[in-house]
Structure 1
Amino acid sequence: MLETILFWLTLVGILYYVITSLLERLRVKNLTEKPVLITGCDTGFGHDLALKCLQEGMPVLAGCLTQQGCDGLILIAKNRQLNVNRLHTFLLDVRSDESVKNARKCVEEYIKSYNGLYGLVNNAGIGGNVSFDDWLLVQDYKDVLDVNTLGVIRVTHAFKDLIKKTKGRIVTVASSSARVALPSFGPYTVSKFAVASYMDVIRVELGFFGVSVSTLEPGFFKTPLTCAKRNTDMMERLWNRATPETREEYGEKFFNAAKSVTQRILVDQCIEQTEQVVDAYFHALTSYFPRPRYQVGKDCVYGYAPFSFLPSRWQDWTFKLARYLANLPLPKSVSDK
């Protein structure tokens, strides 16, 4: 009896995987008539996604934080001999209500020659100050939340009525850190857990209107946010900013070891193939049957995602083992006891 049940469960699982894999390959038609708005196009995933969408013939509205980002994107598009007439860049600061309001005007003007706004990609994000919570301030959390969480909500509120009219797509980047709360990644992790939850909410709500909502959960990829020098310099700054009492509590030995471990992880373990994330973005925009969630990168697929289902106590044990294997000492005030 048990063998029969296991057989049928396995068969159903295989059929589900095969059928969904085939259905996900179906692509929506008339991409040349489906404008997509992408935030955070100065560098990184947003920059590369804008170029990929343009290459595939999609009209692209690229929001950049700086004029340099706008000009650089146009220049690269020209160098690749892409149709820059389908590329419209403009300044967009997702932290600013006024900036988002001005972006709305730009988008409304641009989409008059099309059937509306088909896609919104919430890509803009920052790493912020990432370190142990004892070395951080409340403002560090506010700064990251204002971009990674409130920025997504602010932009989505500004444009979702246009997406509803076309029964289009909203795609947002979260992170593998939205599944596993990594020590020393407090502000970033909090912001990504929050934005993933927001996407879960509106995925159901906007489903009433035929809107597809997808969330990306990339692992650690080599981008400006994961630059080893940037992050180790940041740790130095935060350590020097900490109170004398905090520095005494942790000790120089702990700080230097923590900095070394961080640098080793960012140099050795970050994935270089950033096109995996861009391809996931594009699939969520163009597949007739997009996924609600995309785990991207082998570290997320085989590490963080399954790890997130472990009991909390098991996760804590794993972190303790990882600390031991990484040769990270205890804080000075603990080891002295």
Structure 2
Amino acid sequence: MISFIKWILNLSVFEALLWLFLIFLIFLVIRNILERIQIDNLTKRAVFITGCDTGFGRGLASKCLEHGMPVFAGCLTQQGIESLRADARKSIGNGRSLDAFLMDVTSDESVGKVAKLLEEKCEKFGGLHAVVNNAGITGKHISDDFLDIKEYLKVAEINLWGPIRTTMSVKKLLKKARGRIVTVASICARVGLPGLGPYTVSKFGVSAYCDVIRQELRPFGISVHILEPGFFDTPLINRQKIDGEILEAWEQAPSEIKKEYGEKFFNDARQSSQLFLNTIASSNISLVIDAYFHAITSKYPRSRYQVGWDSILLFIPFSFLPTGIQDYIFAAAGLFLPKPACQ
């Protein structure tokens, strides 16, 4: 051991960096091999997914069905249920492994009813293999000065309390199957982006919840997995909807706030928001769906999944910088963003 320590201390900087690179490369190769191993008996692994009306949830439900997995899909609307069932019948046959139902993650009563339903239907599967907390909203894309506490509560009710409420309701079914909890967070759980206050707060919160229960539920054989996607072009970031919410926030703002910021700021903020999403949002939503599916079906899933080029190459590296440097970068970027009239 002593000779090994001496050998390390005698390495030059270049040699040390080379060895670190080789170790990291070996780690990546081994991880890649292990992550390709899939669990067996997928047809007996029941999966419960929230937010299946559109987007990631809809895509994940279809992918699980294609692999023969029993899928319990929570939808907010009857239209979502009907269209999901139609898709299942059309692309997967008769969709016999799909059970879609109405569910509101903000309602204790609604979630409780679903939990009872799952308790009955998952008996033959030996419990619930995975719950996927996918349902979410972005909230208004505008500065905190234009928001009130109700906006924060509305977003948190869905993005934070929704996953907690859902997870707690099916925890005993997960314990029975020694299952998995898969939750979508965001790069906004790593980096606080200006103009996305309520969304960022809720995602930091749900990420923290997952980090806590990962340790608490480990003795029960339950694993916990977080997705940290960047921006993807789904109904969640519908441009017209976002623009309408910004307009609503401006119209409802107190007169002193409007005067402080000025109408030019408001118009520029609308344009910059659209430009940002058009530039950075990826249309390849299959990346997120595949990450979800891997977390559910891999024998060796990751605890965290970074998804999308902006997450991997931009936001995650940025999150590791010292806060002071982050502030300088935000300040530099602010030179090209709308300015309040009072400045």
Q: Which residue of 2 aligns with 1:116?
A: 127
Query: Structure 2 length normalisation: TM-score?
Result: 0.95
C-alpha distance after superposition, 1:139-189 (max 9, x if no partner): 000001011000111001001111111111110000011010000100000
Whole-angstrom CA distance in 1 between matches of 2:101 and 2:112: 12
> Contact between 1:94 and 1:155, CA under 8 Å: does it hold in 2?
yes
1:328 matched to 2:337? The reply is yes
Q: Give the alignment's TM-score, normalised by structure 1.
A: 0.96
Q: Which residue of 1 aligns with 2:298?
A: 287
**Contact 2:139–2:196 under 8 Å retained in 1:** no
CA distance in structure 2 between the aligned counterparts of 1:64 and 1:96, rounded to whole angstroms: 13
What amino acid sits opposite 2:248 in the alignment?
A: R
Match of 1:71 among 58, 78, 82: 82
Alpha-carbon distance in 1 for matches of 2:80, 2:321: 42
1:103 corresponds to: 114
Once residues 30 and 221 of structure 2 are traced to their aligned partners in structure 1, the CA distance between those partners, rounded to angstroms, is 22
Preserved contact between residue 35 and residue 119 of structure 1 (Cα < 8 Å): yes
- 1:211 is aligned to 2:222: yes
Aligned partners of 1:83 and 1:206: how far apart in 2? 37
Secondary structure of 1:128's aligned partner: coil
The Cα shift of 1:232 comes to 1.2
Report how far residue 18 of structure 1 moved.
0.8
Q: Is the 8 A contact 2:141 2:273 kept in 1?
A: no
Q: Which amino acid aligns with 1:231?
A: I
| 3-state SS of paired residue (2:135) | coil
Q: Which residue of 1 aligns with 2:279?
A: 268
1:305 to 316, 323, 326: 316
Q: Is the 8 A contact 2:182 2:295 kept in 1?
A: yes
Per mean C-alpha deviation after superposition, the further-off stretch among 170-179 and 78-87 is 78-87
Whether 2:41 is the aligned partner of 1:30: answer yes
Q: Residues 129 and 177 of structure 2 are in contact (CA less than 8 Å); yes or no, is this contact kept in structure 1? A: yes
Letter in 2 for 1:113: K
Q: What's the CA shift for 1:293? A: 0.2
Please give the alpha-carbon distance, in whole angstroms, between the structure 1 residues aligned to 2:243 and 2:30: 46
Residue 160 (structure 1) aligns with: 171
1:206-245 equivalences under 5 Å are 206-245=217-256
**Amino acid across the alignment from 1:138:** I
Cα distance change of structure 1 residues 198 and 75 upon mapping to structure 2, 3 Å threshold: same
| Percent of aligned pairs sharing the same letter | 49
Instruction: Tell me, in whole angstroms, the C-alpha distance in 1 between the residues paired with 2:341 and 2:135.
Output: 38
Aligned residue in 2 for 1:20: 31
2: CA distance, partners of 1:82 / 1:303: 41
Q: Once the 2 structures are TM-superposed, how far is the Cα of residue 109 of structure 1 from its aligned partner? A: 1.9
Contact 1:31 1:57 in 2 (8 A): yes
The residue identity in structure 1 corresponding to 2:85 is I
Match of 1:200 in 2: 211
Structure 1 CA distance for aligned equivalents of residues 92 and 28 of structure 2: 39
Q: Which runs of 5+ in 1 are unaligned?
A: none
Q: Cα–Cα, structure 1 residues 315 and 77, in superposed 2: closer, same or farther, change >3 Å? A: same
Amino acid at match of 1:162: L
**Counterpart of 2:5?**
none
1:319 equivalent in structure 2: 330
Aligned-residue offset at 1:5: 2.7
Q: Decide which moves more: 55-64 or 82-91.
A: 82-91
Match of 2:200 in 1: 189
Query: Distance between the aligned counterparts of 1:227 and 1:286, measured in 2?
Result: 31
- Output the amino acid matched with 2:256: E
